[in-house]
């Protein structure tokens, strides 16, 4: 994934996201930055973690580590409860 632009804060930031199921790592140190108005597409083979990433972003699955920051104010992390998400 690419780094955020220096001149604007991303609408959605995901950094350091980790998730495993039964000791099997599914997401390892995932970083994602999406600016307002951008369209993003997740591509990959079956079982590569696309749905797990989306479920961690919308907090249907709690990540084992990492942060999800929405609009620089509402955020969740693996070590805290969700804010306004």
CATH level 3 topology of 12-77: Rossmann fold (3.40.50)
The DSSP letter of residue 61 is: S
- Averages of pLDDT over runs of 10 residues in the chain (85 residues) are 64 94 96 94 96 94 91 66 51
Strands across the sheet containing 12-21: 24-34, 12-21, 65-70, 74-77
Model pLDDT, residue 80: 61
Q: Judging by DSSP bridges, how do beta strands 24-34 and 12-21 pair with one another? A: antiparallel
Contact 66, 35 (CB under 8 A): no
């Amino acid at each position: 994934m690419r780094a955020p632009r220096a001149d604007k804060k991303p609408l959605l930031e995901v950094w350091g996201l980790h998730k495993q199921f039964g000791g099997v790592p599914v997401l390892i140190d995932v970083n994602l930055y999406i600016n307002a108005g951008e369209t993003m597409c997740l591509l990959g083979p079956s079982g590569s973690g696309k749905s797990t990433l989306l479920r961690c972003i919308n907090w249907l699955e709690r990540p084992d580590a990492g942060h999800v920051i929405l609009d620089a104010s509402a955020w969740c992390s693996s070590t805290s409860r969700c804010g306004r998400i």
